[in-house]
Chain A
Amino acid sequence: MIGGLFIYNHKGEVLISRVYRDDIGHRRNAVDAFRVNVIHARQQVRSPVTNIARTSFFHVKRSNIWLAAVTKQNVNAAMVFEFLYKMCDVMAAYFGKISEENIKNNFVLIYELLDEILDFGYPQNSETGALKTFITQQGIKSQHQTKEEQSQITSQVTGQIGWRREGIKYRRNELFLDVLESVNLLMSPQGQVLSAHVSGRVVMKSYLSGMPECKFGMNDKIVIEKQGKGTADETSKSGKQSIAIDDCTFHQCVRLSKFDSERSISFIPPDGEFELMRYRTTKDIILPFRVIPLVREVGRTKLEVKVVIKSNFKPSLLAQKIEVRIPTPLNTSGVQVICMKGKAKYKASENAIVWKIKRMAGMKESQISAEIELLPTNDKKKWARPPISMNFEVPFAPSGLKVRYLKVFEPKLNYSDHDVIKWVRYIGRSGIYETRC
C-alpha cells in the first residue's frame, strides 16, 4: 500500500508527485523530508529504504532521477521495489530513456500511467502491452476506437489473461528468444575463485497469432534427470550438460502449478517483448576470461604493473567490448603504458588505467604493462590495492544453459509448431568481474 510516489531530479526538485493516501501527512513535508535526508544528505545514503519520522521511503535511482515510494504502513518492501522497477520498465517502454528531459516532456502521460498502475496505493496491471492499448501517446483515441474495441479492452484487462488480447493475427508467426546472462566473479591474485555466480534472464519476443500455448524446455538438471530415468544412456550423454538452477522467477503468464508439479514451463505469451524468467546459478560456471596480475613496487616513487588476460572459450567464438580497468594509487603523477592489443589509457578522473579491446577470439592471450610514477606524500597510509575489474560480452551462456525446445500449440488456428520461425540467441556479459592484485 504505497502512500505516494515522487520523482526527483538530481537537484532534489520534484518532477512528479502523486499522493494516494492521506496518511503520509502533508505532501510538502514528505517531499522535503526525502530531499533533505536522502538526496542532499551529507553522507551518501546507501540504504534503499529510509525511515524518517515513522514514514518509510523506498527509492531507486535511474541515472540522475530518483523514484521514491512513500508509505506509513508496514508494507512488503519487495513488492514496493518490484513495483518501482516495473514502473521504470513501463516508462522506458513509453518514452525510452528515463531522464529529466523525458520526464518533463511526458508528465501528463506519467500521471495517466500512475493513475492506471497504482490504485489507492495498490499496484494494478502494469503490463506494458496491455497498457499501450488504452494509454497512448497520441492523445485520446476514443473517437477512432469503436465500441467493440473498447469492450475488448475491458474484457482483456479484467479477464483471466490480462496480458494478451484476443484476435491477434500475424502473417508470419515468429518468435525470438534471448538468453542474457551476467557473470560475477571475485578471484584471488593466485587464481583461486573466491566467489562466482551467474544471474540470467530469458527474454522472449513473440509475434504469434491467436492464443498460442507455449512450452519452454531447457537443460535443467532436475528435468533431465527425471526424463533420464527411462533411458539411462541418454542421462550419461546429456548429464554433463545439464545445469543446476539455484532459484528462478517467472513472468505472470507462466502456469506455476504446472511448474510445481511437472517442472515444465508452459504459458500463453503476451504479445511483443517480455521477460519470461530470471534465474541464478552458482555451480560449474564457465569463466570466459582469466586475469593474471603482477604488481611490483620499485622504491617509493614507482610501481610496475603487468596484467595478462586469457580468453577461455571455443576459438571459434569472439568476445566483444572487452575493457580492463587497473586502479592506480591516489598519488600517481604519471603513467606509461604498453599493450600488445587494443588501446590503453590512464584516466586520471577515475584513478585507473583503462584498457579496451574491441574483439578477441577464444583461447588467446594478451598482455599490458604499465609503469606508474608516484609522488611522495606525507601520508603514511599504504595503498589498499583495489581489485582489477573487467567488462566484456561473449556469445554464449556462461552458466551453460541451453534451450532445448520451445513448442507452440494453437489448436484454434491452423498453424503448427513447425510453421513458427524461432530464433535463439545467447549473450553473456560481465557483472562485477574482479581479480585482486
Chain B
Amino acid sequence: MPAVSKGDGMRGLAVFISDIRNCKSKEAEIKRINKELANIRSKFKGDKALDGYSKKKYVCKLLFIFLLGHDIDFGHMEAVNLLSSNRYTEKQIGYLFISVLVNSNSELIRLINNAIKNDLASRNPTFMGLALHCIANVGSREMAEAFAGEIPKILVAGDTMDSVKQSAALCLLRLYRTSPDLVPMGDWTSRVVHLLNDQHLGVVTAATSLITTLAQKNPEEFKTSVSLAVSRLSRIVTSASTDLQDYTYYFVPAPWLSVKLLRLLQCYPPPDPAVRGRLTECLETILNKAQEPPKSKKVQHSNAKNAVLFETISLIIHHDSEPNLLVRACNQLGQFLQHRETNLRYLALESMCTLASSEFSHEAVKTHIETVINALKTERDVSVRQRAVDLLYAMCDRSNAQQIVAEMLSYLETADYSIREEIVLKVAILAEKYAVDYTWYVDTILNLIRIAGDYVSEEVWYRVIQIVINRDDVQGYAAKTVFEALQAPACHENLVKVGGYILGEFGNLIAGDPRSSPLIQFHLLHSKFHLCSVPTRALLLSTYIKFVNLFPEVKTTIQDVLRSDSQLKNADVELQQRAVEYLRLSTVASTDILATVLEEMPPFPERQSSILAKLKKKKGPDTATGLEEAKRERSAAVNGGPEPAPASAASTPSPSADLLGLGAAPPAPAGPPPSSGGLLVDVFSDSPSAVAPLAPGSEDNFARFVCKNNGVLFENQLLQIGLKSEFRQNLGRMFIFYGNKTSTQFLNFTPTLICSDDLQMNLSLQTKPVDPTVDGGAQVQQVVNIECVSDFTEAPVLNIQFRYGGTFQNVSVKLPITLNKFFQPTEMASQDFFQRWKQLSNPQQEVQNIFKAKHPMDTEITKAKIIGFGSALLEEVDPNPANFVGAGIIHTKTTQIGCLLRLEPNLQAQPPSPRARVPRPRCCSWSDPVPCVLALSWTPQ
C-alpha cells in the first residue's frame, strides 16, 4: 500500500495526529477529538460540495478516531462517495474506511456493493485489486452473496492481469472459508486447476492455496490438480536457485509454493504410477538436497529449507506407500534429533510420532530409540521432552516394551508435574498392551503407584484389579507382590486400595506361607487403615469381611475391629453402615451363606480400556495423537471412507472375548493404505445427513456391528448409546438405549432417524418418540421396528439433539442396519455350491474385492466372523482347505436373494509374515448392493 507520503501529504491529518499524541491526559485527548468531530460534522453538513482531497482527509481523520476507540456514527456516506473517485489515493482511503467500519446491516451496503461491482468491471487492475481486497477484508456473508459468482469469472478470464488473478484467488478463498455454501462449483473449477501451470509464480501460489482448501471439500472435482502440482513441484525442485529470481528465498527456490503444493498433494492418495514416479523423484531430490551442505549460514535459508523438508516428510507419511522414502525420511529426522535447534528437535520428534505408526517405517523409527531416550533425559525444553514421551509411546511394540516402560518409569521420577499424569497413563497402557508376562505387568503398575502414586488415577488401579481378576495365572503372584509392597513403612493410598482389594480376593493363595498368614495379612492392612481416606477405609472394611469368609480363624479379631466404637459409631455414614452390616453378617450368617455372599468376584466383562479413554480425553487436539487423528479424519474425508482407528487396537488383551476382539486384539498401528477398498466404501460416504457430522469413532463401531447385534454403539463424555437388536427374515426390532453419563439433566432430548429417499423406499422404520428429558445417570429406551422392503446399501442415521447445561449438543451416528442382518444361512453340498457358483459367472453378478488383512488370519476367528455375518459356513466344500465358503439368503419383503461367498486367503503371494497375508473374498449375488455390504464388513478386518 503506498503510504500517505509527504508528497500527497494530508497536513491536516498529520497535525491532528500529532496534536493527539501530544495530549497530556485522556481528557485533553477527548476534548481534541470532540473538537475535530464537530469540525468534520460542520464540513460534512452538505451545504457545499467538498473536493475529493478534503473528503479523503476527513474520512482519514474519522478512521483514526475510530481506531483510537471512539464511536463513529457518520461519514459513511462520504467514504462511499470516495469509492467512485477516479484517483487511487481517494479510492484507497474509501475502501480502507469501508473495510474497517462497514456495518453489515447498514443501508449503505447496496451502494458499496454497487461501487465494488463497478470497480470489478473496470479493466483497471489497481481498482480491481482494491475492490477484491475490500471484499476479502470484509468477508461477510453479504459480500459472499453478492460476489461469489463473479470472482471465479475474473479468476479464470484470459485477459486478467496476474496481480488481479492473485487477489481474486485469495479473495475467493476467503469467501469460501466464511461461507462455503455460497461459492458455486462450476466449470471454472477445471480452469482454476490449470492456473497451476501459470507463468507467474505468484498466481500459482495463490491458486494452490485456493485449490487446497477447495479440494479438501470436493476432492473429485480437483483430482486433475495432482498431476499438475507434481509437475510444477518437479520444475521447482529441479530448477537452479537462480532460475526463479524473485521467488528464490535465500537460495531456496520458491519455498512457500513448494510447501503449499506438498500440502495440496496431501489431500489425495498417492497418484497413479506414472505421476507417482515423478513425485517420488521430486521427494527424493528434496531429501537429497537436505543432505547437501547449506548454501548460506543465514537462519532464513535453513528455515526455508527445513520447512519444505518437513512438509515433504509429512507427505511421505501421508502416502505411506513407499518404504524406501519412509525410511529415508526417518533417517533424515533421526539427524534432526540431535540438531542444535530446539525447534527442529521438536518437529523431528513430532513427525516421527506419525512415522512410527506406519508399518514400513516403524522398524526404522525404532532404531532411534536410544537417541529419543537420551532426549528424554537431557533435553532442557519441557515441550520437547513431552514429544519424546509421545514418540516413545508411539514406537513401542512387543519387542521393546520392557525397555521403554522401564525408561518411562525412571523418567517419571524427575518428570515435570504437568505431564506426570499423562506419562502414568501411558505407562499403564503400554504395560497392559504389551504384557507377555502378566507378572511383569503387575510389577510395573505397583512400581508406578510407588513412584507417582498421586498421579495414578482411579482408572489405572481399577484396571489392574480387572486384569488380575480376569487372569488366574497372576492372582497368586499379584497377592504376593502386593503383600510385599504393603510392608513398606509408607505406601501410597492407591497401593493400599489395590492391596486391600487383591488380598481380599486372593489372600488365601498366599496364606499358606507362615510369613503371610491370615492374621499377618490382616494386621498389615489394618496398620494402614487409620491413615487412609474414607473411601479407602470403606474398601478395607469390605476386605475384612472377605477375610472372614476366607479365613474363619481371624473372624473374632475382625469382629472386634468392626465392633469398636471408631467403626460402629463412625461419623461417616458409609463407614458406619458397612461396619454395622458386616458385623451383623459375620455373626448371623452361616458359613454357606457367607461363602455365597462373599464369593470371589466374577471376571469383568471385556471392554475398551477406560485408561485409554482417559488418555484421549486428557490430550488436547494439539498433541501428536490428536494431530494423527485429525489427519486421519482429513484423509478419511478425502477418501470418502472410514479407516479404523489404530487406537482401538489397544482395547482388549483377550482375543477370545468376542468378535470385536478380532478387530482389536493385535497391535496394528497402521491404518490400511488409503486407497485400498476406498472406492467400494464410497457408497457409504454419501451420508444422507446434513444435520451434524458423524461422531468420530462411530464409523468404527458401525463396522463392528455388521457382524454383531448388541453392544455399545456410541459413547462420549455425556452420552452412551447402546443397542440390542433381533432380526427374523425381513423383520427386525432394535432397542436403542440412551444413557446419560452426567449428573445433569438433558433437556429437549430428541432422537430422530434420518433416511435418504432411496433408503426410505427400501427400508421402513417405525419409532415412538422418547421422553424429552433424561435425568442425570438415567437411561431411556426407544424401540425401532424395522422392515426390509427391498435391498439397500445405505444405513439410516440416528441424529440426537439435546440441551446439556445450556449448550446445545448434536450427535449423529449411523445406525447399524445393514442388509446382512436379513441374511439367513443355507446349507449346501459342495456340488451344489459350485454348480451355482459357475452359473453366476456373469460379471454383473459377481463382485470381487481384494484387500489386505491387517492381522493374521486365524481360522477359527474367520469362521466365527463369517457366521456372524449371517451366512452359513460350508465346511469341506472348497477343495482348497484354506478357503472359506459361505451361502445364505437375503430376505426382503419383495424378494429373496440367494447369495454365495468365498474367501480365499492368499498365503503364498508374499513371505509368510503375518502382516502381509492377502485373503481374497469372492462373493456374488443377483443384486449389486450386497457386495458393498460385504466389502464393508470385511475391510476393517
Contacts and interface: CB of A to CB of B under 8 A. Distances in A.
Interface of A: 10, 44, 64, 330-334, 348-351, 373, 375-379
Given A64-B24, A349-B34, A375 B106 contact: no
A130 to B, nearest CB: 36
B97 to A, nearest CB: 14
Contact of B34 (A333, A334, A351): A351
Given A348-B35, A348-B39, A375 B45 contact: yes
Given A10-B25, A375-B41, A348 B73 contact: no
14 contacts: A10-B25, A64-B25, A331-B41, A331-B73, A332-B41, A333-B38, A334-B42, A348-B37, A348-B39, A349-B34, A350-B34, A351-B38, A379-B71, A379-B73
Contacts of A44: 26
Nearest to B30: A349
Counting chain B CB atoms within 10 Å of each CB, which of A331, A349, A350, A376 scores highest? A349
Contacts of A378: 73-74, 76, 103, 106-108
Contacts of B31: 349-350
A199 to B, nearest CB: 25
B555 interface: no
B381 to A, nearest CB: 29
B32 A375 contact: no
B42 A333 contact: yes
Given A333-B41, A375-B74, 16 more contacts: A330-B37, A331-B73, A332-B41, A333-B45, A334-B42, A334-B45, A349-B31, A349-B32, A349-B34, A349-B35, A350-B34, A373-B45, A375-B44, A377-B73, A377-B74, A378-B73
A331 B74 contact: yes
A64 B25 CA distance: 8
A62 to B, nearest CB: 13
SS of A interface (majority): loop
Contacts of B38: 332-333, 348-349, 351
Nearest to A11: B24
A355 to B, nearest CB: 18
A334 B46 CA distance: 12
Contacts of A331: 41, 73-74
Contacts of B71: 379
A10 B73 CA distance: 31
Interface of B: 24-26, 31-32, 34-35, 37-39, 41-42, 44-45, 71, 73-74, 76, 103, 106-108
A348 B74 contact: no
A375 B108 CA distance: 17
Contacts of B106: 378
A181 to B, nearest CB: 28
A378 B107 CA distance: 9
Nearest to B108: A378
Contacts of A348: 34-35, 37-39
Nearest to B71: A379
Contacts, number: 50
Counting chain A CB atoms within 10 Å of each CB, which of B24, B37, B38 scores highest? B38
Contacts of B107: 378
B728 to A, nearest CB: 68
A330 B71 CA distance: 11
Nearest to B44: A375
B216 to A, nearest CB: 40
Contacts of A373: 45
Contacts of A334: 42, 45
Contacts of B41: 331-333, 375
A377 B77 CA distance: 10
A331 B108 CA distance: 19
A379 B107 CA distance: 12
A332 B73 CA distance: 12
Contacts of A333: 38, 41-42, 44-45
Counting chain B CB atoms within 10 Å of each CB, which of A10, A44, A64, A333 scores highest? A333
B38 to A, nearest CB: 3
A377 B108 CA distance: 12
Nearest to B107: A378
Contacts of A330: 37, 73
Contacts of B32: 349
Contacts of A351: 34, 38
Nearest to B39: A348
A427 to B, nearest CB: 28
A100 to B, nearest CB: 10
B427 to A, nearest CB: 40
Contacts of B76: 378
B19 to A, nearest CB: 11
Nearest to B35: A349
Nearest to A379: B73
Contacts of B103: 378
A8 to B, nearest CB: 12
Counting chain A CB atoms within 10 Å of each CB, which of B32, B34, B107, B108 scores highest? B34
B934 to A, nearest CB: 65
Nearest to A352: B34
A121 to B, nearest CB: 31
A8 B713 CA distance: 67
A378 to B, nearest CB: 6
B402 to A, nearest CB: 51
A350 B32 CA distance: 9
A15 to B, nearest CB: 15
Contacts of B25: 10, 64
A10 B24 CA distance: 7
Nearest to A351: B34
A377 B32 CA distance: 21
Contacts of A64: 24-25
A64 B108 CA distance: 44
A345 to B, nearest CB: 13
A351 B41 CA distance: 12
Contacts of A376: 74
A332 B34 CA distance: 11
Contacts of A10: 24-25
Counting chain B CB atoms within 10 Å of each CB, which of A44, A351, A378 scores highest? A378
Going nearest first, the 3 A-B pairs with the smallest beta carbon separation are A348-B38, A379-B73, A349-B35
Contacts of B44: 333, 375
A373 B37 CA distance: 14
Contacts of B74: 331, 375-378
Nearest to A328: B38
A229 B76 CA distance: 76
Contacts of B73: 330-331, 377-379
Counting chain B CB atoms within 10 Å of each CB, which of A348, A376, A377 scores highest? A348
